[in-house]
Chains A and B, each alone.
Chain A
Amino acid sequence: MSLLRRVEIPIAITIIFALIQVIPYFVNMGPAVEATQDKVVRWTLIVSTGALLVGLTSLLLIHVPRVTRRRTHWEYSLLLIAFMFLMTIIGLPFPELNLGLTGYWFSFFYNNVLTPLSASLYAILAFYITSAAYRAFKARSLEAALLLISGTILVLRNAPLGTFLIPQIADLGDWIFNIPNMAVNRAIMIGGGLGAMVLGIRVLLGYERGYLRGGE
């Protein structure tokens, strides 16, 4: 097998760079190791910025064929491509042409197109959630009833009118939030943390190969 296709090389790179990050986090390894760690962090930042280009390419690979082959809703794909390039061009740092992130045109499109669209999309959730809750939030079992009661109490606790009409709802809501909710969330966090640790060890030992295009 060609040297470049050997799986040991990316695994070795992963192990080396992971150890450079992990060990100095717990143990003081001296200025040389810390400087290397800083350099690796900076590489990560550069790579993550470069990932934007991957995103751009990926979007084009999906949407350009949709437009050229006139697939269903190809008009939306065309709109997406057009606005992607428009925002990229007007976001270029040429302040003398009123371009750039703080320029007039970028702010204009951002404030008058993207902001209202995003806010509307988020606001629509309230309508969907109410409709969905009306249909699905039913006390079909003991567990569902408990969820229903605690959810309703917290909704009432979050509404100024709820605490105004029933002042005790504030204490009850706080109790649900601070005791059962906190306990469950801590359990999830601890479980997630342990899982991440195990995954990290598996990656370090070379057992986890999902990131190598699927692994075995």
Chain B
Amino acid sequence: MATAPRIWEKLETIDARIIYLILWIVILWPFIYPIGLPVSIGSYSLAYAKAIDDLPAGSIVVVSFDFSLGGLGELYPIAIATLHHLFTKPVKIVIIAIWSDGAIVADMVLKDLKPDQPPYNRKYGEDWIFLGYAPGGETAMAALGKDFWSTLPTDYYYKKHVSTYPIMQNLRSANDVTLLVSLETGTPGADEWVRQWYVPYKVPMIVGCIGVMAPTVAPYLAGGQVKGMLPGLRAAAEYELIIGRKGLGVASADALSTSHMVFVIFVILGNISYFMRRRSK
């Protein structure tokens, strides 16, 4: 009879390295042997895609990279898919960064997508522009809302004054922006954009964020300030399926499933061992 409690005790104090190893295997396994589980599409992802689909031709869309390298795992697929979607629409795209690393991450995404080449063939300075990093956090958002030209006077790639680019002729303040896309991992992010762009200028926005940020963005969805949201890797997979361009999101969906399932199994096991040990006492 004494062996039974010992088993539960042992199970409860299992070596963390065993958990790490099991998790490592279940994350890696689907990348080598994909399972191809179906991904059901949620309403937030549909709303995110619809906000882009509904843009009238010639609209100005500002895409802000408000994240650093830490968020790359979840936000890179979202950034790639969002920019792909935008570049296939007849809209003008202005890319900025409120986080210092955001500009470099945006550059990585743009180099991967190559908007100047087929299938996009979008002309730099006319159809899209990359203005780089605006320092100052929320203050920079407020300054951009008032005046783009003086806040980010030159572009990121050629360091030419923005007034020399045709795309910037119709963009002076947030009043000229049809949609704001914020890809973010924290502060400054949605809260600050709502304060500085939605409240004074009524610029609608959509948000791509890491999974843990979803609860904080959710109230803005219900309030109508945020039109759509892609929280984390699962949402990235859903969005890729909506726009018909399978990428990193879909590729990671199986690993997401297996790792989450193992997490749940471990939580259940931990609780069973806890209750069994308590009962045996």
Contact = CB atoms under 8 A, between A and B. Distances in A.
Interface stretch (B131-139, B160-168, B174-182): B131-139
Interface stretch (A56-64, A71-79, A131-139, A197-205): A131-139
Contact of B264 (A38, A114, A156, A164): A156
B237 interface: yes
B90 interface: no
A137 B219 contact: no
B71 A131 contact: no
B216 A185 contact: yes
A42 B19 contact: no
Contacts of A93: 159
A160 B40 contact: yes
A119 B72 contact: yes
Contacts of A130: 19, 23, 259, 262-263, 266
Contact of A45 (B42, B139, B157, B232): B139
Interface string B223-241: 0000000001010010000
B218 A185 contact: yes
Given A134-B270, A186-B219, 18 more contacts: A38-B143, A41-B142, A45-B136, A102-B107, A118-B70, A119-B72, A119-B73, A130-B19, A137-B267, A139-B271, A152-B264, A156-B260, A162-B261, A167-B40, A170-B42, A177-B215, A182-B218, A189-B219
Interface bin, chain B: 35 or more
B266 A160 contact: no
A42 B20 contact: no
Nearest to B22: A130
B143 A127 contact: no
Contacts of A119: 69-70, 72-73
A127 B23 contact: yes
Interface string B2-31: 000000000010101001100110010000
A18 to B, nearest CB: 13
A178 interface: yes
Contacts of A101: 103-104, 107, 156
B136 A126 contact: no
B133 to A, nearest CB: 9
A88 interface: no
Contact of A131 (B16, B135, B136): B16
Interface in A15-64: 25, 38, 41-42, 44-45, 48-49
